[in-house]
Amino acid sequence: MKLSNDFDPRRLRPRRRGSWRWRFAAALAALIAGFGVLLAMAGAATLLGRPPALGALNDSTGAAIVLLLFGLLFLWVGILAWRFSRRRALRRNDLSMSPHLMKKRN
């Protein structure tokens, strides 16, 4: 079979829209995770006997535990949201393949 030079396989599939929304969501989720790390570090520093990092906000042991738990919660939610948004940004909309058959990117 003869191939012609004017064949362009990119015309066979529709153009994808930009995934800037999912990239923005991934950046926001990374910021939330970073804020969680900072809160957890401030709570852990107070529990370990270092001077309070947030002034009067975490003077007591109970407040330090609450900061540590909220920091870990923000970290967990941020990582889950980041993974979800990265998966959605990298997803191919044109082929219906099982995710375990596609090339690993994360």
Distance of CA 56 to the CA centre of its chain: 31
pLDDT in tens, the chain (106 residues): 566 666 666 666 666 666 788 889 999 999 999 999 999 998 888 888 876 666 776 678 888 899 999 999 999 999 999 999 888 877 655 455 566 665 666 5
- The domain ranges of the chain are 20-90
| Per-residue pLDDT, 50 | 73
Task: Sort 58 into a burial class: Cβ within 10 Å, 0-12 / 13-18 / 19+.
Answer: buried
Strand (E) or helix (H) holding 89? helix 61-90
Show Cβ contacts of residue 63 under 8 Å, excluding neighbours closer than 6 positions: 46, 57
Plot region of 99 (φ>0 → left; ψ -120 to 50 → alpha; else → beta):
alpha
